[in-house]
Amino acid sequence: WKAWTDPAELKQWYAPENLTTPVAELDLRTGGAYRITMRGKDGDHTAVGVFTAVEAPHTLAFSWKWEGSSEPETRILVTLKEVESGKTRVTLRHEGFADAQSREMHAQGWESTFNKLEKHLG
């Protein structure tokens, strides 16, 4: 839960493997906003949105939009479930994409981001 909700933790892993996360600002409550900047060789990419559900320690739901992009806002649901002592299953559902290409690009980004999360939690 802390890896998903603590800005200092998010800065350690919340971006694909070739990016860093210099900004992670969260108002962690239902209706609260967030802003996360991912930095790469081609510049900054900032995701913004609003939390639609915050149910510690197992559910986060939020809107997602790239700041300055004409792409539509999408929705993300993250669920955390302890499957055995010290191990947690993370399920992420990201939906509402304008087209298959956008969905596939985000899927690749999330896969790489989860690789970083796994290394972070070691």
| pLDDT single digits (tens) 41-68 | 999 999 999 999 999 999 999 999 999 9
Residue 122 has pLDDT above 90, yes or no: no
Note the pLDDT tens digit of each residue in 74-108: 999 999 999 988 889 999 999 999 999 999 999 99
Give residue 117's pLDDT. 97
Q: What is the pLDDT of residue 85?
A: 82
pLDDT of residue 50: 98
pTM: 0.94
In the prediction, which pLDDT does 37 show? 98
How many angstroms separate the CA atoms of 19 and 5, rounded?
19
Say whether 41 sits in a helix, a strand or coil: coil
* Rounded Cα gap, residues 21 and 14, in angstroms: 6
